[in-house]
Amino acid sequence: MAQVNDMEYLVRCFTFAMLKRNKMQEMEKKIVPQNTTEEMFAYIWGLDEAHSYLAPKLCFPSKSKGNATQYCRQGDMAFRKHKLCEALKYYNLAILSAPHPDSESSPRKGATSLNQVESILAQAFKSRSVVLFEIKRYEKCSDDIDLALKFGYPQTSCKKLLDMKIKCQKLISADKERVNPSAKALGPDDLYFAFEIPNPPPLAESNPTIPSLSSAVKMTFSQTMGRHVIAAKDINPGKVKKYLDC
């Protein structure tokens, strides 16, 4: 199923269909720098082949208590072997797969009996909180404990969770009091949480047709290089000429 929605695969199918129907020369005359993006898109999307081969197949995810339970079991097995990253992955999948209560119904905190919707979801959050505690992600661990209780983790088993939350709060406070907590070396588990997407540097003046490019560059086309960017004026070293918003 992943291959069906892979863009390169879709483009290959589209290109093959255009070649088979002798439409490539016609398309090459339309996809040129002289035409605007809107004109080129309108042409492509007006082709029957585009709708047949470029439209991705939408696969809507479904919630499944059975799948969530299976992921929890796989997470438990990985945790027992102290494969924490693998356990975290499976508990994440369990939370994604578990049926969630309707937004109109408010789950009971510390319920003694769990309905089928809430039980596996609460269990998955509880299990993930234990992994997060082990890899020293105390704030996220505390959040997961709150969610486990929110979705009805049984009151009879809450004491260990609440004790762990108290430990998290103490460790969070201690960590904030450190002079330079970022100075410690990152362990392999920390890499899952260490990266933060930085804000892109500002452009002095945006290109009027391609806002992510500087006005100092322009798009051009050649038979040898295809579409590419060249300098439109002298550029001083160190100037930002484009940014990518991922």
Please check the confidence at residue 85 and state whether its pLDDT lies above 60.
Answer: yes
CATH of domain 65-175: 1.25.40.10
d(CA 155, CA 213) in angstroms, rounded, equals: 57
Say yes or no to pLDDT of 139 above 70: yes
Closest to 28 (Cα-Cα) out of 209, 226, 228, 229: 226
Q: Where are the domains of the chain?
A: 7-53, 65-175, 203-235
Q: 95 with 125: CB under 8 angstroms?
A: yes
CA dist., res. 133 & res. 161, Å (int): 11
| pLDDT value for 144 | 94
Instruction: Give the per-residue pLDDT at 148.
Output: 92
238 has a pLDDT exceeding 80: no
Mean local confidence (pLDDT), 100-121? 53
21 DSSP 8-state letter: T
SS3 (DSSP) at 118: helix
Rounded to the nearest integer, the mean pLDDT of the chain is 78
Q: How many alpha carbons fall within 13 Å on the CB side of residue 56?
A: 11
3-state secondary structure of 13: helix
Query: What mean pLDDT comes out for the span 36-61?
Result: 81
72 touches 123 (CB < 8 A)? yes
Report how far residue 179's alpha carbon sits from residue 4's, in angstroms, rounded to the nearest whole number: 51
Tell me what pLDDT residue 61 has: 59
Residue 235's pLDDT is 76
91/222: higher pLDDT: 91
Q: What is the pLDDT at residue 147?
A: 92
What is the mean predicted confidence (pLDDT) over 164-176? Answer: 88
Predicted structure pTM score: 0.50
Whether residue 58 has pLDDT greater than 80:
no
Least confident of 45-54, 82-91, 216-225: 216-225
